[in-house]
């Protein structure tokens, strides 16, 4: 069995190395590109579309799913990752065999060696770990390999996201020369909003125990990042020694308010007894940022409308965060200790951050100029961007659910009374619990605080009798 595994591993590694050695050997055909252009006017052919589809499935779906399966130590981790690797290799070769549209030297092709090297290293480490070599020298380095394998695996979705963005701008010939800085600002900020939404979703569904262990409130970390980001924006949005323009003023002012508000949020994140405390500063920063973005002056009417909707979406994210902390949670960290049953309202803020991120990603000058030239109005474009936000939000929730179901099911094996389906063991409600729940439901809101306390005391007295049956 081990020899068969070694043979398969060697074959897969050889194929990956072969792909890596042909990366630099590939020549870009540019004879159809007109002077002054970076892409030809030819349509994208079917081979390139298949390349895009295969790589989207491999890098965008299978590898992230395999990452989660590896975290929960599922038997499906290796098959999913092997399938993704095979598809990635096929997609790589298809990307070098397409006809139709031609591309000049671009960032997408230059980034291929990095991402393929990560894949080769990841596959090699996975094969080594699968061999279970634990004696002598192997026993010493195995822990290091396990840790590095996990780090590279978790970094893969981030690197994949970057490569997908590079692929999009390469296909359209965008973000060259004077447009590079503006594209970078939109892509970095838009991706940051989406990342913030992903982090909030993780903390909402599976991160409450970790957050409680840190001894810090969520707003402490939010404010820390806001302050650091504000410092960067304050000193990088204007090219020193050059005249100031309206964009420099807008972005620099936004950076200033971020680090000022971030410092306040850090200070307010602890009580007098040094315990964590919730605060509204990060939510207020979202509202102010949305207000500033909605008032951005733009050259195109379409651009003004898109930035306005983006600003309103970001302000809505801040407003829902305030409502969540103040009225839904009432300054608590979560409704229940492990965060396993969040209020439906709590999903709004993360989703609106997803939507804000996609709105900003799709609001670059060249993108909106292309849409304006083809007479696309802002309404259908906004709906398309929101649709993309819904799909990514769904995928993130599915991955978190996959992780949560496995980890909680393992924990609950030692506790026969741990909640399962519908909050009960195996979805079955015990008779005494059903009667007690019905009694509490009927009396809720109809009894005073004193009567409530008496009822709770009576319930405790009856508990030993009910548990014997």
Cα dihedral value 167, 171, 177, 178, nearest 10: -90
Q: Give the largest CA-CA distance in the chain.
A: 88
Q: Residue 286 carries which DSSP code?
A: H
- Residue 103: strand, helix, or coil: strand
pLDDT of residue 117: 95
Q: For residue 67, which of 149, 139, 130 has the smallest C-alpha distance?
A: 149
pLDDT in tens, 238-287: 777 788 877 778 888 999 999 999 999 999 999 999 999 999 999 999 99
Give every CB contact of residue 121 below 8 A, 6+ residues apart in sequence: 152
Q: Is the separation of the CB atoms in 101 and 42 below 8 Å? A: yes
Q: Does the pLDDT at position 291 exceed 70?
A: yes
pTM: 0.82
pLDDT-derived band at 468, boundaries 50, 70, 90:
very low
Average pLDDT over residues 68-95: 95
> What are the Cα distances from residue 290, in Å, to 27, 286, 294, 346?
45, 6, 6, 20
Q: Is the separation of the CB atoms in 400 and 331 below 8 Å? A: no
Q: Is the separation of the CB atoms in 255 and 237 below 8 Å? A: yes
**Higher pLDDT, residue 236 or 195:** 195
pLDDT-derived band at 66, boundaries 50, 70, 90:
very high
Domains of the chain and CATH, by start: 1-173 (1.20.120), 177-403 (no CATH)
pLDDT in tens, 161-202: 999 999 999 999 999 988 898 899 899 999 999 999 999 999
pLDDT-derived band at 55, boundaries 50, 70, 90:
very high
Lowest mean pLDDT segment, chosen from 35-44, 238-247, 416-425:
416-425
pLDDT-derived band at 36, boundaries 50, 70, 90:
confident
pLDDT-derived band at 18, boundaries 50, 70, 90:
low
pLDDT in tens, 104-126: 999 999 999 999 999 999 999 99
pLDDT-derived band at 466, boundaries 50, 70, 90:
very low
Neighbours of 99 (CB within 10 A): 12
> What are the Cα distances from residue 1, in Å, to 130, 313, 393?
12, 56, 41
Sign (positive or negative) of CA dihedral 73, 75, 78, 82: negative
């Amino acid at each position: 069995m081990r020899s068969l595994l070694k043979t398969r591993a060697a074959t897969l590694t050889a194929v990956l190395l072969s792909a890596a050695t042909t990366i630099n050997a590939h020549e870009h055909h540019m004879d159809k590109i007109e002077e002054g252009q970076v892409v030809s006017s030819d349509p994208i052919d079917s081979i390139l579309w298949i390349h895009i589809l295969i790589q989207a499935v491999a890098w965008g779906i299978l590898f992230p799913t395999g990452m989660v399966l590896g975290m929960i130590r599922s038997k499906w981790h290796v098959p999913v990752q092997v399938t993704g690797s095979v598809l990635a290799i096929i997609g790589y070769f298809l990307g070098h065999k397409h006809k139709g549209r031609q591309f000049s030297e671009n960032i997408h092709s230059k980034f291929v060696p990095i991402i393929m090297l990560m894949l080769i290293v990841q596959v090699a480490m996975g094969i080594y770990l699968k061999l279970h070599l634990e004696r002598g020298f192997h026993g010493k380095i195995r822990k290091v390999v396990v840790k590095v394998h996990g780090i590279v695996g978790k970094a893969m979705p981030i690197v994949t996201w970057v490569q997908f963005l590079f692929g999009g701008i390469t296909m359209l010939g965008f973000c060259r020369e004077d447009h590079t800085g503006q594209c970078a600002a939109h892509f970095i900020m838009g991706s940051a909003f989406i990342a913030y939404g992903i982090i909030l979703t993780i903390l909402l569904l599976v991160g409450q125990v970790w957050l409680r262990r840190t001894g810090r409130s969520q707003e402490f970390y939010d404010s820390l990042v806001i302050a650091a980001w504000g410092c960067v924006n304050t000193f990088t949005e204007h090219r020193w020694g050059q005249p100031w323009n309206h964009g420099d003023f807008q972005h620099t002012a936004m950076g200033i308010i971020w680090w000022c508000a971030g410092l306040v949020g850090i200070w307010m994140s602890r009580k007098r007894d040094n315990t964590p405390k919730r605060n509204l500063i990060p939510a207020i920063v979202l509202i102010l940022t949305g207000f500033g973005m909605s008032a951005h002056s733009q050259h195109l009417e379409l651009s003004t409308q898109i930035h306005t909707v983006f600003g309103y979406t970001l302000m809505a994210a801040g407003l829902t965060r305030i409502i969540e902390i103040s009225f839904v949670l009432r300054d608590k960290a979560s409704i229940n200790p492990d965060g396993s049953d969040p209020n439906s309202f709590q999903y709004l803020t993360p989703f609106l951050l997803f939507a804000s991120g996609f709105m900003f990603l799709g609001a670059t000058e060249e993108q909106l100029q292309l849409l304006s030239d083809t007479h696309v109005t802002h309404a259908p474009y906004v709906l398309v961007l929101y649709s993309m936000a819904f799909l990514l939000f769904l995928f993130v929730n599915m991955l978190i659910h996959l992780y949560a179901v496995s980890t909680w099911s393992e924990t609950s094996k030692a506790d026969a009374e741990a909640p399962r389906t519908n909050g009960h063991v195996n979805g079955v409600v015990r008779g005494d619990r059903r009667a007690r729940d019905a009694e509490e439901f009927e009396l809720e809101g109809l009894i005073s605080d004193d009567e409530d306390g008496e009822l709770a005391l009576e319930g405790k007295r009856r508990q030993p009798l009910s548990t014997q049956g």
